[in-house]
Chains A and B, each alone.
Chain A
Amino acid sequence: MKEGIGLRARFFYRYRRFIKTLKIYLMIAGPGIIVMVADNDAGGITTYTVTGSKFGYDLIWFLILLGPIAYIVQEMTVRLGAVTKRGHAEAIFDAFGTFWGWFSLGDLLLVNWLTLITEFIGMTAALSIFGIQPFITVIIVLVLLIVMILQGRYWTWEKIVLLFCVLNLIYIPAAFLVNPSWSSVLGNGLIPHLPGGAFRGELFFFLMANIGTTIAPWMVFFQQSSVVDKGMKEKDIPWGKFDTMVGAAFTVIVAIFCIVVTGTVLYGTNIESAAQAARSLIPINQYAGVFLAIGLFDAGLLGAVCISLVSSWAFGEVWGWAHSLNNRIREAPWFYFLYIIILVSAGIVVLIPGAPLVLITLFVQVIAVTLLPAALVFLILLLNNEEIMGKYKNTKLQNILSTIIVVFIVTLSTFYCLSVIFPQYFT
Chain B
Amino acid sequence: MAKRSTKSPFHKKLVNAIQNQVRVVREINTKYAAPRIKMTKWVSIALLGIRIYLIVLVIILVYKFITLVI
Binding site for B on A (CB under 8 A): 93-98, 100-101, 318-320, 366, 369-370, 373-374, 377, 380-382, 385, 387-388, 414, 417-418, 421-422
Contacts and interface: CB of A to CB of B under 8 A. Distances in A.
Contact of A421 (B28, B29, B33, B60): B60
26 contacts: A93-B28, A94-B32, A95-B35, A95-B37, A96-B37, A98-B29, A98-B32, A98-B33, A100-B47, A318-B28, A370-B54, A370-B57, A373-B53, A377-B49, A377-B50, A381-B43, A381-B46, A385-B37, A387-B36, A387-B38, A388-B37, A417-B57, A421-B60, A421-B61, A421-B64, A422-B64
Given A369-B57, A421-B61, A374 B36 contact: no
Interface residues of B, number: 21
A319 B28 CA distance: 7
A319 B25 CA distance: 8
A407 to B, nearest CB: 11
Contacts of A369: 57
A97 B34 contact: yes
- Which are the 7 A-B pairs with shortest beta-carbon distances? A97-B35, A95-B37, A93-B32, A95-B36, A421-B64, A374-B50, A96-B35
A78 B53 CA distance: 27
Contacts of A318: 28
Nearest to B21: A319
Contacts, number: 54
Contacts of A320: 24
Nearest to B53: A373
Contacts of B46: 377, 380-381
Interface string B16-34: 0000000010001100111
Given A100-B47, A320-B24, 20 more contacts: A94-B36, A95-B35, A95-B36, A96-B37, A97-B32, A97-B35, A98-B32, A98-B33, A319-B24, A319-B28, A369-B57, A373-B53, A377-B50, A381-B37, A382-B37, A385-B37, A385-B38, A387-B36, A421-B64, A422-B64
Contacts of B36: 94-95, 387-388
Contact of B47 (A96, A418, A421): A96
A377 B29 CA distance: 22
